[in-house]
């Protein structure tokens, strides 16, 4: 398969995941997503030893245009202009604001568009409303109400930072900020929380101060931390693919210790092996979980540091798609 076709297909699947996450619960602002994708890709290409000239050629950009874009996007953290964001900001600045005033303020835009955005903001719990018709009043949902429905944001951030440190041993503060695109105050609070709870350590590695941890476990049925679990799953899969590509491996053998396999089973409701197939993930989790516990205990008992050993990552995933589901 041509690499460009493969990259296009992976980008498409990544966009599906981002769209799902952006519409899960509260709506995530995406105004700066294109800038972030460009800068992140440039950064990763540079980390792989490519010069600015080569990276510019890969984007089919003149070198001067490439440098201008990198500079412009790096200096701007936000990108104004989204009608969805403008409506949200107007409500926040003028709350409580009645429906009629919103329609007047945005009279150059379609009333249907404004009403659709307002309904979406309410469904996303970013905005609350009272009353009916043109006298409906909108205001920003209180932090207390939002936190009650979403969980404590600080713990969610700490879980994301924890997972990222676990997957990047010796990572620096600046690199964490780059990978997570997290505000400094939130990142510092998350690091303080993890340090206080002895979930991470600080150590000088190759002359730089970095963070590391020997284990990272998001408990089953945890009320917060699902974001970290999603990130952990995704980066484990990406790491397996990247390590294999770095080694120049394009073929798979049964004895490979790097790579992955995907298996699909088709089972009806009354299939004799349905339960055996569906229970496979829980059995694998139990087996691998027990093995991890034994390895962790051995390492602690013998004073072995994670930075001195090879890292082996297992990714276990499963999805069940009903037969009557229509693929888009």
* 277 — pLDDT class (breaks 50, 70, 90): very high
Q: Which of 26-35, 77-86, 163-172, 228-237 tops mean pLDDT?
A: 163-172
Model pLDDT for residues 64-80, shown as the tens digit of each residue: 888 888 876 665 443 34
Say whether 148 sits in a helix, a strand or coil. Answer: helix
For residue 220, what pLDDT is reported?
57
The mean pLDDT of 30-51, rounded to a whole number, is 80
Mean pLDDT of the chain: 78
* 144 — pLDDT class (breaks 50, 70, 90): very low
* 8 — pLDDT class (breaks 50, 70, 90): confident
For residue 232, what pLDDT is reported?
76
Q: 10 Å Cβ neighbour count for 180?
A: 17
The answer, yes or no, to whether the previous bond of 83 is cis (omega within 30 of 0) is no
Chosen CATH of 153-262 out of 1.10.10.10, 3.30.365.10, 3.20.20.70, 2.40.10.120: 1.10.10.10
Sign of the dihedral defined by the CA atoms of residues 7, 230, 235, 195, in that order: positive
End-to-end alpha carbon distance in the chain:
23
Nearest to 120, CA basis, from 29, 226, 33: 29
Nearest to 229, CA basis, from 21, 27, 88: 21
- Which of 23-32, 70-79, 157-166 is predicted least confidently? 70-79
Residue 20 has pLDDT above 50, yes or no: yes
**DSSP state at residue 171:** B
Q: 10 Å Cβ neighbour count for 84?
A: 17
- Which of 51-55, 208-212, 269-273 is predicted least confidently? 208-212
For residue 276, what pLDDT is reported?
92
* 249 — pLDDT class (breaks 50, 70, 90): low
Give the E-state strand segments of the chain in sequence order. 97-98, 127-130, 137-140, 201-205, 208-212
Sequence length of the chain is 328
Q: Which of 94-103, 177-186, 229-238 tops mean pLDDT?
A: 94-103
**Domain 83-149, CATH class in plain words:** mainly alpha
Pick 223 or 316 by higher pLDDT. Answer: 316
Strand 127-130 with 137-140, pairing: antiparallel
Of all residues in the chain, what percent carry a pLDDT higher than 70? 81
* 275 — pLDDT class (breaks 50, 70, 90): very high
For residue 325, what pLDDT is reported?
66
Pick 78 or 85 by higher pLDDT. Answer: 85
* 81 — pLDDT class (breaks 50, 70, 90): very low
Q: pTM of the predicted model, to two decimals?
A: 0.52
The mean pLDDT of 294-301, rounded to a whole number, is 88
């Amino acid at each position: 398969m041509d690499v460009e076709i493969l990259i296009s297909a992976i980008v498409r699947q990544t966009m599906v995941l981002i769209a799902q996450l952006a519409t899960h619960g509260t709506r995530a602002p995406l105004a700066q997503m294109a800038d972030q994708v460009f800068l992140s890709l440039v950064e990763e290409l540079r980390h792989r030893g490519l010069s600015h000239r080569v990276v510019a050629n890969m984007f089919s950009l003149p070198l001067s245009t490439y440098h201008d874009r990198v500079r412009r996007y790096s200096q701007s953290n936000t990108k104004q202009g989204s009608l969805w964001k403008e409506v949200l900001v107007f409500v926040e600045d003028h709350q409580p604001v009645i429906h009629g005033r919103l329609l007047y303020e945005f009279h150059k835009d379609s009333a249907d568009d404004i009403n659709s955005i307002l309904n979406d903001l309410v469904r996303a719990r970013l905005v609350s409303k009272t009353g009916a018709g043109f006298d409906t009043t909108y205001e920003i949902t209180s932090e207390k109400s939002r936190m009650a429905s979403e969980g404590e944001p600080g713990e969610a951030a700490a879980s994301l930072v924890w997972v990222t440190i676990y997957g990047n041993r010796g990572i620096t503060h600046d690199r964490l900020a780059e990978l997570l695109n997290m505000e400094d105050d939130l990142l510092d609070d998350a690091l303080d929380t993890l340090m206080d709870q002895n979930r991470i350590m600080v150590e000088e590695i190759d002359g730089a101060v970095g963070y590391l941890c020997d284990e990272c476990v998001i408990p089953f049925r945890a009320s917060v931390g699902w974001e970290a679990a999603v990130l952990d799953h995704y980066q484990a899969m990406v790491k397996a693919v990247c390590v294999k590509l770095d080694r120049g491996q394009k073929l798979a053998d049964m004895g490979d210790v790097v790579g992955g396999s995907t298996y699909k089973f088709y089972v009806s409701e009354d299939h004799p092996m349905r339960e055996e197939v569906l229970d496979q993930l829980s059995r694998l989790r139990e087996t691998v979980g027990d093995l991890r516990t034994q390895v962790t205990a051995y390492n602690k008992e013998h004073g072995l540091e994670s930075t001195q050993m090879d890292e082996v990552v297992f990714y276990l995933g499963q999805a069940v798609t009903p037969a009557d589901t229509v693929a888009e």
